[in-house]
Amino acid sequence: MLNIAVFCSGEGTNLQAIIEAVQRGDIKARLSLVVSDNKEAPALQRAKKAAVKTIFLDPQEFPSREEFEKELIAYLQEENIGLIVLAGFMRVLSPFFVQKYPNKIFNIHPSLLPAFKGSTNAVRDALNYGVKFSGATVHFVDEKIDNGPIVLQRVVEIEEDDNEESLRQKIHHQEHIIYPLAIKLFAEGRLKVKGRKVKINPKPQ
């Protein structure tokens, strides 16, 4: 069975959606590990409540990013992790790390990539730019920020009276649908990456 690790830094609402999808049996995989670089992250409490193993690693305690990531990798190897899911993890993973897990790291971004790529607040930027639609994107992580092949996207219409908070909530709602779905497809072996394109194969009968 596929072992999954989720990396979080904050609230962990996407983590909660994943936990619930695993508990329902929608995702045929084991949520083996939740990792955080923030000791106070509510995500850690969500994981503990669901009896998922948690790890807190303080980047400040390591002499370099590579040493921090080597420690991370050691924990992942110990749990035989086959998929890493970034869910509000506020650190950029280095090429050193990404190369260890090619096409085995997911990220979710609150825009329709490549729009507002690399933005630290893509929701606000979408509103300020005046676009009529935004949304959520699940993509594989490569060595560039918000650049890897796109797995799933969901569109959100921006209404005249939307503000940053209301739009964020609408996008979060879609994230909580497509992130567990992308993990489900990965666990079922239905994603095939070819160049920039991700093909979703039909479920075997």
Which residues are tagged catalytic?
109
Mention every residue, 6+ apart, whose C-beta is less than 8 A from residue 200: 185, 190, 191
DSSP 29: S
- Dist. CA 55–CA 178, nearest whole Å: 26
Distance, CA of 144 to CA of 123 (rounded, Å)? 20
Neighbours of 165 (CB within 10 A): 9
Neighbours of 68 (CB within 10 A): 20
Which residues pair with residue 73 across a beta bridge?
Answer: none
- Say whether the peptide bond before residue 114 is cis (omega within 30 degrees of 0): yes
- 3-state secondary structure (DSSP) of residue 106: strand
Segment 63-67 long-range contacts (CB within 8 Å, at least 24 positions apart): 65/94, 66/94, 66/96
DSSP assignment, residue 110?
S
